[in-house]
Amino acid sequence: MLTEEHEWAAVMTYPQAERLAASTLQSLGIEVYLPLMPGRDRRFKKEQMPEKPMFPCYLFAKINKREVYMTRTARGVFGLVTSNHSVCVVPQRDIDNVRVFEASQRKVFIHDTSKLTKGALATITNGEFAGMQGRLIRGCKDGNFAVSIEVMNVSFVVHIRRDELAPANTPEDNKGIWEK
The domain total for the chain is: 2
Q: Report d(CA 125, CA 157) in Å as an integer.
A: 16
145's CB contacts (< 8 A; 6+ apart) are 122, 136, 137, 138, 139, 159, 160, 161, 162, 165
* Same domain as 86, residue 11: yes
What element of type H or E holds 100?
helix 92-103
Where in 46-96 does DSSP place strands (E)?
Answer: 51-53, 58-63, 77-80, 82-83, 86-87, 89-90
Q: What is the CA radius of gyration of the chain?
A: 19
Q: What is the pLDDT of residue 146?
A: 85
pLDDT tens readout for residues 122-156 = 888 888 888 899 888 877 666 678 888 988 888 88
Q: Report d(CA 134, CA 174) in Å as an integer.
A: 12
Q: Report d(CA 141, CA 6) in Å as an integer.
A: 46
Q: Is residue 1 part of a domain?
A: no
Q: Is residue 176 part of a domain?
A: no
Q: Is residue 96 part of a domain?
A: no
* Same domain as 70, residue 15: yes
Q: Is residue 100 part of a domain?
A: no
List the domain range (segments joined by +) for residue 116: 108-170
* Same domain as 126, residue 51: no
* Same domain as 117, residue 82: no
Asked whether the predicted pLDDT for residue 116 surpasses 50, the reply is: no
Q: What is the pLDDT of residue 16?
A: 92
Measured in degrees and rounded to the nearest 5, phi and psi for residue 119 equal -140, -155
Asked whether the predicted pLDDT for residue 179 surpasses 70, the reply is: no
Q: Report d(CA 96, CA 64) in Å as an integer.
A: 19
pLDDT tens readout for residues 76-111 = 999 999 998 999 999 999 999 999 988 886 766 664
CA angle 85, 88, 91 (to 5 degrees): 165
pLDDT tens readout for residues 162-177 = 778 777 765 444 444 4
Q: What is the CATH number of the domain that holds 165?
A: 2.30.30.30
Single residue among 90, 124, 142 that ends a domain in this structure: 90
* Same domain as 132, residue 74: no
pLDDT mean across residues, the chain: 82
Q: What is the CATH number of the domain that holds 18?
A: 3.30.70.940
